[in-house]
Every structure is written in structure tokens, then in C-alpha cells.
Amino acid sequence: MADNEISTLDAILSAAKKEFSEKGFQSASLRKIVKDAGVTTGAFYGYYKSKEELFDALVGEYYDTILAMFKKVQGDFQKLSPKEQREKMENEAGSGMCEMLDYCYAGKEKFKLILCSSEGTKYENLIHEMVEIEVDATHKFAYTMQKLGYPEYEIDPTLEHMLVSGLFSAFFEVIIHDIPYEDAVKYTEELRAFYSAGWKKNYGVLTPDFLGYRLASSNYNTDIGKVKQLFFII
């Protein structure tokens, strides 16, 4: 690609990033992007066919990579023996979150577009996608633990979705609010410890003595105190 083509492309992407950041995908104006980039409409369409394709050029690689990283962490863990999974659960989870955090900060501006400006695109579902992967992995882990003699894991599906959604929403808050990297590392570790303690205390997913209780849909509204304990770890 010639230098002038690179310059034109960079100008378009820079103008697009600014417009999407300020107005979001749905309200962003292609006309304004073209004007701010200092190119003709014809020149723009020589690179991208639509606003969707332009947004994809900015964030698509980052979206695909973070999901691939998360799936790999889960897949590698599931390849371990049941005993190894039991022994390495917390360390593997912590390592995976740190790797994803590092990647998010390496592409912080792109992830902020995904998290704050992607409504109306497939990228707005990032957190939902990660929640679904995590829920599925949790069920597989619980089933594996049953093979080691642990009691059956039960939780109301709606509550489970809420809890896992809360985890990933909180994880990405450091990007949304421009938290300095050093603080983000500390917050992520504390977040992981907080949720691990909650799962241990209430559901025994990670503990040999199964300290948890079963929250099935039939008695979902009968023990709000237990739900509060999950969040305040008392």
C-alpha cells in the first residue's frame, strides 16, 4: 500500500474513532467522518462500503481476540484432569483475568468503543457473550467436581446470570472509567477474590466441605438473607 493510501486510511480511521466515541455508532455521521478526514465520499467508499464495515475495521480484531482468549482459557482448563481442575481453579481463573486485562489496556481505546459506543452493532453483546461462556464453563466444572464426589451444584438460572453478568460488567468498568492500569490490576484481583469468596460461601463450588446451600427456583424468594451474604461476605 502506497504512503498516500496509508495516510488516507489513517485519516478515515482517526476521524471515525473520534465520531464514534463522541456520538456512538447509531448517531455517528458518515458525512462528518468523511469531512473530518479530508477525503471525498468516493475515496471513502473505496475503502469501506458502510458505516458498519468502518466500525468493524476499528474494533473487530479486538472483539474476536478477547473472546478467543477467554475461550482458550476455559478450554485449556477443561483439558486438565478433575484433580488438577480442583487444585488449580483459582490460580487459573486469576491468570486468565490478568491476561485479558493486559490485552484490554493494550487496545484501551478500541475496547472503550466496544463498551460505550457499539449499540446497534453485534459488538454490543460482548459482555453477554462472555457471560454465556462463563456460565457454560461453570456448569462443566461443577459436573467434573461431582465425579470427585462433591454434591450437585444448583442455583437459580436467573440469579446465576445476574451474578456472572455483574462480574464481567465490573471487570470492564476499569476501561469505561479510564482507571489507571496499576489500579485496574489491583481492582481486578480484589474483584476476583470477592466473587470467589461468594461462590465458596454460598455454593461451595470450590470448597471440599461444600459450605453452600442450594437455591432452586422453587424456593428462590424464601431466603434473601443468603443472597445478601453472597454480596457482603459476612
What local confidence, expressed as pLDDT, does residue 3 receive? 56
Q: Across all residues in the chain, what is the average pLDDT?
A: 83
Q: What is the pLDDT of residues 24-50, one digit of tens each?
A: 999 999 999 999 999 999 999 999 999
How confident is the model at residue 203, as a pLDDT?
A: 63
What mean pLDDT is predicted for residues 110-129? 97
Q: Report pLDDT digits (tens) over 123-161.
A: 999 999 999 999 998 888 888 888 888 777 778 889 889
| Average pLDDT of the residues in 99-117 | 97
Distance CA 120, CA 185 (A): 31
Residue % of the chain over a pLDDT of 70:
81
Identify the CATH class of 1-49: mainly alpha
What mean pLDDT do residues 61-88 have?
Answer: 89
What was the pLDDT predicted at 213? 27
- Residue/partner pairs of 11-15 with CB below 8 Å, 24 or more apart: 11/37, 11/38, 11/39, 12/37, 12/39, 12/44, 12/47, 12/48, 12/54, 13/57, 13/58
Total-model pTM: 0.80
